[in-house]
Amino acid sequence: MGTVVLSGAVVLVVLGFGNPLYWLAAVAVLFLYVRYGLATSTSTPSSPSAGAAPSAAPAPTSYKAYRERRDTQARWERRYRRERPLEARRQERERGG
């Protein structure tokens, strides 16, 4: 991601020789990347398993916590199937076939 942003900034700087407004755009792109892009990539802790989803909750520390999380997930899934029956059926077909 950083390579794309930096190369885009270089292109904007080169185009800026014809129109200085592109220089301002390059500065804005770099500022936004430093402000938001680097902050999210450096603050995420490295997970022990490479296959885990980045937004996945940490593993429960006790069986009780595991059961609570599993029951909560089951309630959300039942609610989803109840509120969106057509979408739930389509997802079941895709998973099953």
Type of residue at 97? G
pTM across the whole model: 0.38
**Residue ranges of domains in the chain:** 2-43, 63-96
Res 47: pLDDT = 46
Nearest to 14 by CA among 32, 2, 26: 26
At 67 the pLDDT is 94
In the numeric block, the tokens 């999380």 are attached to 69
For residue 89, pLDDT over 70 is answered with: yes
What's the pLDDT tens digit per position in 3-62?
888 888 888 888 888 888 888 888 888 888 888 877 555 555 544 444 445 556 677 789
